[in-house]
Amino acid sequence: MADTPQVAPRYHDLDALRAVATVLGITLHGAFFVLPELTYPWPVHDQSVGNDPTYLIILDVIHGMRIPVFYVLSGLFGVLLWERRGLRALGMQRPKRIGLPLAVGCFTIIPLTALAMALTSGREHPYDFPFWALPFIWVFATMHLWFLWNLLLMVGMFFVLVRLGVTFRDPKVWWLLVPLSAVASLLMQEPVFGADALQSLIPKPATFVFYSCFFFFGAFLYQQGVTVRRWWTIALLPAAVAFCVGFLLLRRYAADAKPFTHGELPEQAWMFSNQLTLVSSLAETAFAWLACFGMMGLFRWLLSRPSFTVRYLSDASYWMYLAHLPLIIVAHWVVIDWPVSYHLKYLLACAGVTAVLLVTYQLFIRYTFIGNVLNGPRTRRRPQPRPAPTKNA
């Protein structure tokens, strides 16, 4: 008699962490219009912020850890799928879950984002492109969908390595990814906390190598059978120290750098070319790795039990990531002139976009073909029938 296949355990804590890392994109992009200065080009900017660094700190914390955490989990779940269902299943599932939404987003979400930027900025530079070019914007800038494109490239690399017999098991090899990521960090050029932007179809080598280190380290963790431990949470303490060091040094460098105007990036140079940016870059890399382990430990501690709410938000988070950027730009434009505190503007913009995305997910995505592509089929919950009353004898 054949053995009954066992149901594979679900990593509820890592599901929750993946969802939070995804939804933090709203928090991150929501902070752009209330930065003290235009560290990143953005079509709407609230001049009343002054020198308040609150949202720059929020943005740098999220940017410094969010994508590394996501790539570690992507590598881990990629190996999980490979081991449970085989390499062919991995080669079929990943293009469906990643490639298809990316392809559709290139002709829908990216043009809508570019249109929102052009209209809310009043067609200012660099948003003064002709509207007939909207369907082709993705050729020049993949916007926030750069993550999916680079993830596809990493999955392709993983597929080739597996075909070549790589097993992702030798600690002597895979722990070298940590110093390799530090070298890649030093070869970046943008004086911002975290990795350089990666929106081109041809990835920047240093940034791509940096993020690939986290992806393949996640593959190593699963292949080695490393179990996430709650005590990993303690890594968040040295991560906080690393963040403070990197952030303060980078701010000191920015104070001495040439000022820049609306729509222009700061002056760029190799991170290793200046003592401040060199140490800051190493601190940023340390923060990314420590935050990965610390967040995994924290979520293991707090959210390791099954929860319908967490599972639902995990499913919804993919749609929220895909669709949020044009909405957050429009939300900034709507609230920018309201006679309220910029703190309240920020909260209202983020909360409003989150609410719209959750409603649209429930009504138009979850139980449709789109939801099937993003997360697999989902069925509606039906109330359990009440037991029939029993008669007393």
Q: What is the pLDDT of residues 227-274, one digit of tens each?
A: 999 999 999 999 999 999 999 999 999 877 654 444 454 556 788 888
Task: Let me know if residue 316 belongs to a domain.
Answer: yes
pLDDT exceeds cutoff 80 at 218: yes
Task: Let me know if residue 272 belongs to a domain.
Answer: yes
Task: Let me know if residue 391 belongs to a domain.
Answer: no
Task: Let me know if residue 393 belongs to a domain.
Answer: no
Number of domains in the chain: 1
Q: Give dist(CA 216, CA 221) in Å, integer.
A: 9
Those residues whose C-beta lies under 8 Å from the C-beta of residue 291, and which sit 6 or more positions away, are 64, 65, 68, 69, 235, 236, 239
Those residues whose C-beta lies under 8 Å from the C-beta of residue 205, and which sit 6 or more positions away, are 187
Q: Specify the pLDDT at position 139.
A: 94
pLDDT tens-digit series, residues 157-213: 999 999 999 888 888 889 999 999 999 999 998 888 999 988 899 999 999 999 999
Q: Quote the domain boundaries for residue 245.
A: 16-375
Of residues 10 and 214, which shows the higher confidence score? 214
Q: Give dist(CA 194, CA 262) in Å, integer.
A: 21
pLDDT exceeds cutoff 80 at 290: yes
Q: Specify the pLDDT at position 344.
A: 97
pLDDT exceeds cutoff 50 at 1: no
- Give how far Cα 113 sits from Cα of 28, 35, 76, 197, Å: 16, 20, 31, 17
Residues written for the chain = 393
Q: Give dist(CA 242, CA 179) in Å, integer.
A: 16
State the DSSP H helix or E strand holding residue 78, giving kind and residue range, or none if neither: helix 54-85
Task: Let me know if residue 140 belongs to a domain.
Answer: yes
Q: Specify the pLDDT at position 232.
A: 96
Task: Let me know if residue 239 belongs to a domain.
Answer: yes
Contact 23, 361 (CB under 8 A): no
Contact 299, 235 (CB under 8 A): no
Q: Specify the pLDDT at position 313.
A: 92
- Reference 96, options 378, 379, 370; nearest CA is 370
Task: Let me know if residue 362 belongs to a domain.
Answer: yes
Q: Specify the pLDDT at position 2.
A: 39
- Reference 273, options 179, 187, 373; nearest CA is 187
Task: Let me know if residue 41 belongs to a domain.
Answer: yes
Q: Specify the pLDDT at position 382.
A: 65
Mean pLDDT of the chain: 90
- Reference 162, options 252, 99, 229, 94; nearest CA is 94
pLDDT exceeds cutoff 50 at 3: no
